[in-house]
Chains A and B, each alone.
Chain A
Amino acid sequence: MTEPMTGIATTQVTKAYPGSERPAVDDVSLHIADGEFMTFLGPSGSGKTTMLSMIAGFTPLSAGSITVDGREISRLKPHRRDLGVVFQQYALFPHLSVARNVAFGLTQRKRPKAEIDRRVGEVLEMVGLSGVRERFPRQLSGGQQQRVALARAVAYEPRALLLDEPLAALDKRLRDQLQREIAHMHRELGMTFLFVTHDQQEALTLSDRIAVFNEGRIEQLGTPAELYERPGTLFVAQFLGESNALRLRPGEVTIVRPERVTLHTGTESVAAGQQRRSATVTDVVYVGDHSRIWLRYADGARGCAVLGAGTTHEHRPGSEVVVAWHPEHEAVVPDAEGNPK
């Protein structure tokens, strides 16, 4: 494999913390293109933070290498890497005003005072916080603090921005709002973003590509649509949203997403060439813009169908239905039980 010239590349990066039996990050190679929005998605403990902090320089590698634009950085101190980092707990300096927090990176780079002032104003305006320059972090809400942290991390125009679960400490409404602001910042700045989250919805909404982490390894890497529609493993299928996981043939599992199935009261209405399976409705949940029909198949497998808001239906818990889908919407993955990790 030839070394990619621009962007961030990791080659066979491994981290084994002393005293733990399996590595926290295990042989991870990936390439983040210049300007890309890349997300590390995975459950807690899957090694996302460890991976990010090796790129940022907070954690030394056990093996492997990391390059930025072809330059090896894995042995550089964090302050020599020219990356911006946003933390889950904001990590604002409590004894410095908002303006001085945001100016910190510029001050370290010995920029002229006038330029620092101008730039601090610009980035605070970008995050909608021009009015709080002289406040201290404690005087701001969580959402405002995270906006200041974002402004601080991009103020000195680093080569890339790394964000470790930046929205996890915020409530739902703020999270959605900041999600949009982060997407907007990414477009506006054209900067490479590396975003870490355990929230699949967040990952699908924001990312150009997603690397799904499981037990220190990348399970699958692809665009949100690829991962959602064509999961490569049962883990990815189950981690990214609901699915109908059917064991139709031994050793493999057929995955069909809830939006891809139709429900019928008999087999007559099912179009020719479609796959069909009978199931029992266990629950019907009306969510406003759609309804979720929860299903149990004859072999005990659980499933789900999504019906759009306009659809009228008479499905009630206990009804017998026929679930149908087009074979091209299937994804077939190895059965984890016959293929243990």
Chain B
Amino acid sequence: MTAIRPAGKPRARAHWLLLPAAAVLLVVFFYPLATILWRSIAEPEFGPGNYLAVLGDAVALRVVLRTLGTALIITAVTLLIAYPYAYAMTLVGRRARGLLTLLVLMPFWTSLMARNFAWYVLEQRGGVIERAFAAIGIHGVTLLGSVAGVTVAMVQVMLPFMVLPLQNAMLGIDRGLLHAAGSLGAPRPTAFLRIYLPLSMPGVLSGVSVVFIMSLGFYITPALLGTPQQALVAQVIGTRVNDLLDFPGAGALGAVLLVITLVVLALLGRVAGPVGASMTGGGDRG
């Protein structure tokens, strides 16, 4: 009943294959990151000044909170759309599944700017969305310049990052388990809640982590579709760097964002831990 795993040696030997990637990461990621963090504590004079400034700045804090809130809403909306979508993908035939995959990957094939301008046109005053709502009797729906407008556009681009891990997890669920639950006396909703949902959790957690973290760092979409009054962290960092040339201050704000991201990842990891362990725990099938 003990698991037979590949011996440790070949794996250790394969480590040098990671060298090129590690080198690139070191130069283009860790070096700049270290520079920014260093400057955030070293300039204009050494000390926690920049951080105290950020934490004491009501505007900056409000921006951080707004960013977290927006990312949370985007993640929730994406999950609500992606879950049934991914579920449907596991039920249909191969060809329909291919088509559904194509549809969800569409945002990847349009350039970032083209996509955002398309949303700009759709969401603007007198645009398609406003007229569509007006046609069913709801007037004055202008998404442009609102958090809702930003959310809609960001959800679209985030969908594949949620759908793909969900679908991956769902394809691994034996549908016979639902039959088994039914025969044991569970009505469909119970079978879903007690069996299907927990088994799809690894997909939910990885989709949620990716979407939440990516949403924290969005820059162009909120800049174009939102308003400066409702700016998100990435825009504020951009303003500090580009307009105010405040590199240390931007670095401090960036570090705050990084810490929040790491905390979220750690929390999700704690939730994912037990779920994953119970399903893969112990040995392989004997």
Name the segment of B22-30, B116-124, B156-164, B278-286 touching the other chain.
Answer: B278-286
For A91, give its contact among B176, B279, B280, B281 (CB under 8 Å): B176
Pairwise interchain contact B283-A156, C-beta atoms closer than 8 A: no
* Residue B182 at the chain A interface, CB threshold 8 Å: yes
Q: Which of A63-97 contact B (CB under 8 A)?
A: 77-79, 81-85, 87, 89, 91-95
9 contacting pairs across A/B (C-beta < 8 A): A79-B183, A89-B176, A93-B180, A108-B184, A136-B279, A136-B281, A138-B279, A138-B285, A139-B283
Q: Which residues of A contact B199 (CB under 8 A)?
A: 94-95
Q: Given known contacts A108-B190, A138-B279, A140-B286, what 8 new A-B pairs fall within 8 Å (CB)? A: A79-B186, A94-B199, A95-B275, A105-B185, A138-B280, A145-B285, A156-B185, A162-B183
Pairwise interchain contact B275-A152, C-beta atoms closer than 8 A: no
Q: Could you tell me the distance between the alpha carbons of A93 and B183 in the complex, rounded to whole angstroms?
A: 13
Q: Which residues of A contact B195 (CB under 8 A)?
A: 93
Pairwise interchain contact B183-A153, C-beta atoms closer than 8 A: yes
The interface size of chain B toward A, counting residues with CB under 8 Å, comes to: 28
* Residue A222 at the chain B interface, CB threshold 8 Å: no
* Residue A56 at the chain B interface, CB threshold 8 Å: yes
* Residue B69 at the chain A interface, CB threshold 8 Å: no
Q: Could you tell me the distance between the alpha carbons of A45 and B182 in the complex, rounded to whole angstroms?
A: 24
Proximity bits, B259-286, A CB within 8 Å = 1, else 0: 0000000000000000100111111111
The smallest beta-carbon distance between A135 and chain B, in angstroms, is 7
Proximity bits, B226-247, A CB within 8 Å = 1, else 0: 0000000000000000000000
* Residue B198 at the chain A interface, CB threshold 8 Å: yes
The smallest beta-carbon distance between B195 and chain A, in angstroms, is 6
* Residue B140 at the chain A interface, CB threshold 8 Å: no
Pairwise interchain contact B179-A141, C-beta atoms closer than 8 A: no
Q: Could you tell me the distance between the alpha carbons of A56 and B181 in the complex, rounded to whole angstroms?
A: 12
The smallest beta-carbon distance between A262 and chain B, in angstroms, is 47
Proximity bits, B183-199, A CB within 8 Å = 1, else 0: 11111101000010011
Q: Which residues of B contact A144 (CB under 8 A)?
A: 286
Point out residues on B near A: beta carbons under 8 Å: 1, 174, 176-177, 179-188, 190, 195, 198-199, 275, 278-286
Q: Could you tell me the distance between the alpha carbons of A95 and B281 in the complex, rounded to whole angstroms?
A: 10
The smallest beta-carbon distance between B278 and chain A, in angstroms, is 5
For A77, give its contact among B180, B184, B187, B282 (CB under 8 Å): B187
Q: Which residues of A contact B281 (CB under 8 A)?
A: 136, 138-139
Q: Could you tell me the distance between the alpha carbons of A92 and B180 in the complex, rounded to whole angstroms?
A: 8
* Residue A57 at the chain B interface, CB threshold 8 Å: yes
* Residue A109 at the chain B interface, CB threshold 8 Å: yes
For A156, give its contact among B184, B188, B286 (CB under 8 Å): B184
Q: Which residues of A contact B198 (CB under 8 A)?
A: 95
Pairwise interchain contact A77-B182, C-beta atoms closer than 8 A: yes
Q: 5 tightest CB-CB pairs across the interface, nearest first?
A: A141-B286, A78-B182, A108-B185, A139-B282, A105-B184
Pairwise interchain contact A95-B278, C-beta atoms closer than 8 A: yes
Given the interface contacts A89-B174, A104-B186, does A94 sit within 8 Å of B179 by beta carbon? no
For A58, give its contact among B182, B190, B282 (CB under 8 Å): B182
The smallest beta-carbon distance between A308 and chain B, in angstroms, is 39
The smallest beta-carbon distance between B90 and chain A, in angstroms, is 17
Q: Could you tell me the distance between the alpha carbons of A94 and B173 in the complex, rounded to whole angstroms?
A: 10
CB-nearest residue of chain B to A59 = B179
Pairwise interchain contact B182-A91, C-beta atoms closer than 8 A: no
Given the interface contacts A94-B199, A138-B281, A141-B286, does A104 sit within 8 Å of B184 by beta carbon? yes
Q: Which residues of A contact B184 (CB under 8 A)?
A: 79, 84, 104-105, 108, 152-153, 156
* Residue A23 at the chain B interface, CB threshold 8 Å: no
For B174, give its contact among A85, A91, A109 (CB under 8 Å): A91
Q: Could you tell me the distance between the alpha carbons of A85 and B177 in the complex, rounded to whole angstroms?
A: 11
Q: Which residues of A contact B176 (CB under 8 A)?
A: 87, 89, 91
* Residue A43 at the chain B interface, CB threshold 8 Å: no
Q: Which residues of B contact A85 (CB under 8 A)?
A: 179-180, 183
Pairwise interchain contact A95-B286, C-beta atoms closer than 8 A: no
CB-nearest residue of chain A to B198 = A95
Proximity bits, A106-146, B CB within 8 Å = 1, else 0: 00110000000000000000000000000110111110110
Q: Which residues of A contact B282 (CB under 8 A)?
A: 135-136, 138-139
Pairwise interchain contact B279-A94, C-beta atoms closer than 8 A: yes
Q: Which residues of B contact A92 (CB under 8 A)?
A: 180
The smallest beta-carbon distance between B74 and chain A, in angstroms, is 28
Q: Could you tell me the distance between the alpha carbons of A337 and B198 in the complex, rounded to whole angstroms?
A: 55
Q: Could you tell me the distance between the alpha carbons of A131 and B187 in the complex, rounded to whole angstroms?
A: 31
Proximity bits, A180-195, B CB within 8 Å = 1, else 0: 0000000000000000
Pairwise interchain contact B1-A139, C-beta atoms closer than 8 A: yes
For A79, give its contact among B187, B278, B283, B286 (CB under 8 Å): B187
Q: Could you tell me the distance between the alpha carbons of A78 and B186 in the complex, rounded to whole angstroms?
A: 8
- Which residue, A56, A83, A85, A142, has most C-beta atoms of chain B within 10 A? A85
Pairwise interchain contact B185-A79, C-beta atoms closer than 8 A: yes
- Which residue, A58, A78, A83, A84, has most C-beta atoms of chain B within 10 A? A78
Q: Which of A145-171 contact B (CB under 8 A)?
A: 145, 152-153, 156, 162
The smallest beta-carbon distance between B183 and chain A, in angstroms, is 4
Proximity bits, A37-72, B CB within 8 Å = 1, else 0: 000000000000000010011100000000000000
Q: Could you tell me the distance between the alpha carbons of A53 and B182 in the complex, rounded to whole angstroms?
A: 12
CB-nearest residue of chain A to B185 = A108
The smallest beta-carbon distance between B204 and chain A, in angstroms, is 13
CB-nearest residue of chain B to A85 = B183
The smallest beta-carbon distance between A37 and chain B, in angstroms, is 19
